[in-house]
Structure 1
Amino acid sequence: MRRGIYLLEEVQFHPMNSQRPLKYLEWLTAYKREDEALESGTSVLTTSQSVRSSDIDLVGAFYAVGITGHTQFKAVTLWDCRGGWDGGWRQMMEIYDDVKPELFLSQIDDLRWSAFSRPLGAVAGSPALADIVQEGYRAPFFLFESAQVKPGAAHDYLAAVREERAPVMAEHGHRLTGLYEVLLSDTEVVTVWGTDLDAHLALQRARDAALGLDDEVKGDDRLLKWNKRAREFLDGPWRETLLAAFPGSKLAPR
């Protein structure tokens, strides 16, 4: 079984015009739905929409919930490179071979301001996104964690997340959907969790109560213990933010 290879992209829009991320997400989800009809293993580099392929699968398209710590306004996309390194990843890399003119033409020119991509590699115990989609799992919100770890500690940190944190988060209505090391680097990890608004709010209040800051609900000390445990692996910024699943994407409620 091949390792799952994914791509996470954060797209910024400028000036602050809320219609731009809407237009981008509508365009993106529509054209990727058309790609589903393409034969597996084939790809086409077009003059207006870059590479077309069903093996470069848009699994998640999200509007970033700015009040949780994102730059406003921002879209986030999560791609499954079906077939791993020799599948969707190869097809994405092939568009740079000879730097063809088609690479520079797009229907969304001047719509995006900037974009930042992270190549992700699934680690042991990480669910396969294709399996999650096939199962029919959907969630209105996804918790997105990006953390800087000590050099070489990515797999150890993610193993601790899987074994120690995931069961606690599951009790609080958060389903683990991705455990990833950021590839081509040695110090960053990403985790993704599906949830809903009620579970998000209940989790925050359980943590507040554990800190002695909310006496109306029961606290969960395990949430604070995890924060201390995580610091054994961390070596820099750690942040969790929320993503709202965009209608029409595979992980969005229908």
Structure 2
Amino acid sequence: MRRGIYLIEEVDFRPMNSRKPLEYLTWLTRYKKEDERLDRPDLTKGLSIRSREIDLVGAFYAVGITGHPQFKAVTLWDCHGGWDGGWRQMMNIYDGVDDRLFLSDIDDLRFSAFSRPLGAVHGSPAVADLLAEEYAAPFYLFESAQVRPGAALDYLAAVREERAPVLAEHGHRLVGLYEVLFCDTEVVTIWGMSLDDHLATQRAHDAALGLDDEIAPDERLLDWRKRAREFLDGPWRETLLAPFPGSRLAPAGVD
């Protein structure tokens, strides 16, 4: 079993124009659906590389009210075959720096994009397996955390062993536990849940703080935040993502 290699990309759009993320996500999901019919990877003028092994498994509209700059899109890519599969194909486009690399149908649509390669760790589900069972959620929780140098794997192990069981009781399903590659100070986790489960979890947290007396508290939610500080060494943030219609992690019938 090879390590799962993924890529997450955050894209923002300026000046603020609500149509730009719609145009981008619509273009991207349709373009990648066409790739599912390809027999081999191809470097094409205006589209960069086309390959079904570089699989767009998640395309999301970031919920700005949860802490993202508006407007933002987030995409999650699965490099089928790991380092020697989709990752190799992406790297091949830089061999010789072909002039086709600098052409795109979506030039000037995005203001900026920030890509991070991710390596799955023990206990992280294979996204391909989630797709095979047709798993999808109405919302996804996206965490990015800066940890002490060298503490990424320890933090993710604690998430797997201590936090995941608690969140599972609150209706959150683990989608990914990832070490951000080519650095030793950042991790990413992704969870799927319903809106009702999201709201109930927030209220259980508030109740544990003594700020909501209408719902049962869950002190374990507070305990995790204290435990997490043993590994953190900088910003930590969770934000919500809404799967875009046509995304493979969008609920069935949303297309």
Q: Same fold (TM over 0.5)?
A: yes
Which residue is 2:26 aligned to?
A: 26
Q: 1:21 Cα shift?
A: 0.3
Which residue is 1:137 aligned to?
A: 135
Counterparts of 1:45-56 in structure 2 under 5 Å? 45-56=43-54
Q: 1:69 Cα shift?
A: 0.2
Distance of 2:244 and 2:201 partners within structure 1: 23
Counterpart AA for 1:18 = S
Distance of 1:180 and 1:135 partners within structure 2: 21
Which residue is 2:102 aligned to?
A: 104
Q: Deviations over 1:33-88 (max 9, x none)?
A: 0000112xx21010011100000000000000000000100000000000000000
Which residue is 1:2 aligned to?
A: 2
- Find 2:86's aligned residue among 68, 88, 101: 88
Which residue is 1:38 aligned to?
A: 38
Counterpart AA for 2:4 = G
Q: 1:127 Cα shift?
A: 0.2
Counterpart AA for 1:8 = I
- Find 2:123's aligned residue among 125, 149, 155: 125
Counterpart AA for 2:202 = Q
Distance of 2:138 and 2:196 partners within structure 1: 11
Q: Deviations over 1:155-192 (max 9, x none)?
A: 11000000100010011111000000000000000000
Which residue is 1:208 aligned to?
A: 206
Partner of 1:106: helix, strand, or coil?
coil
Gaps of 5+ in 1: none
Q: 1:234 Cα shift?
A: 0.6
Distance of 1:247 and 1:196 partners within structure 2: 16
Distance of 1:166 and 1:95 partners within structure 2: 38
Partner of 2:26: helix, strand, or coil?
helix
Counterpart AA for 1:74 = K
| Identical counterparts, % of pairs | 77
- Find 1:160's aligned residue among 158, 161, 166: 158
Partner of 1:244: helix, strand, or coil?
strand
Q: Deviations over 1:92-123 (max 9, x none)?
A: 01111111011011110110010000100000
Partner of 1:102: helix, strand, or coil?
helix
Which residue is 1:151 aligned to?
A: 149
Partner of 2:240: helix, strand, or coil?
strand
Partner of 1:158: helix, strand, or coil?
helix
- Find 2:65's aligned residue among 60, 64, 67: 67
Which residue is 2:235 aligned to?
A: 237
Distance of 2:9 and 2:63 partners within structure 1: 15
Moved runs in structure 1, 4+ residues, more than 2 A? none
Partner of 1:151: helix, strand, or coil?
coil
